[in-house]
Amino acid sequence: MGRKSATIQGCFRHKRAPRGGRAAKSRPFRARSAAGETGRAVVPVGGGGPADACLLKNILHNFGDDDCVRVLRACRAALRPGGRVPVPALVLPEAGGGAGTQPDAETAVALSDVEMMVLTAGRERTLAEYRALFARAGLALPPGAPPALPGLPHHYMLEGTDGTEHGTREARDGAAVRR
């Protein structure tokens, strides 16, 4: 397994699946990558039914707000109830920076934002702007600060959900309806 796959697997270690009324055991990690055009329908690979997650790495910052919402809605439509849309992203500091912000990190963030404006229709965003995009797509980011990505200043793991917790009766019933 490659380094990226191992990192992704680490993000999903908490997932549990009940088996035959016994104590919950860890589900084996299942991941497949799928190429496609951004913003089109997202179809789970291999006909395995609704997806547990749709990872969007280096995608959203390439697009304007309306296109980002379109991409996030396509991912949401492919998810099973309780599914997630993890988005590792550079998140701009809110206006005023912060006491712990390193000047070189702020420069890197600003240069990345300029690069997005010049090369694409996209841009880097603040956490509040990401929350608004996810909300427009019918997804929610958990309250509070998202987990930081180690060694990458201003990079966080944003994780959109439809608000349904994994393993709840609502999620199981919703998955049965989708089958």
pLDDT digits (tens, 9 = 90+) for 92-141: 887 665 555 556 666 766 777 777 778 887 888 899 999 999 999 999 99
Q: Are 31 and 8 in contact (CB under 8 A)?
A: yes
Torsion angle in degrees (nearest 10) through CA of 125, 128, 129, 133:
130
The pLDDT of residue 71 is 92
**Model-level pTM?**
0.69
**CA–CA distance, 118 with 69 (Å, rounded to integer):** 21
β-strand partners of 26:
16
The pLDDT of residue 138 is 95
Of all helices (H) and strands (E), which one includes residue 82? strand 79-92
Catalytic residues, by residue number, are: 61
Q: Which residues contact 87 (CB under 8 A, 6 or more apart)?
A: 55, 56, 57, 59, 60, 130, 157, 158, 159, 160
- Structure letter (DSSP) for residue 157: E
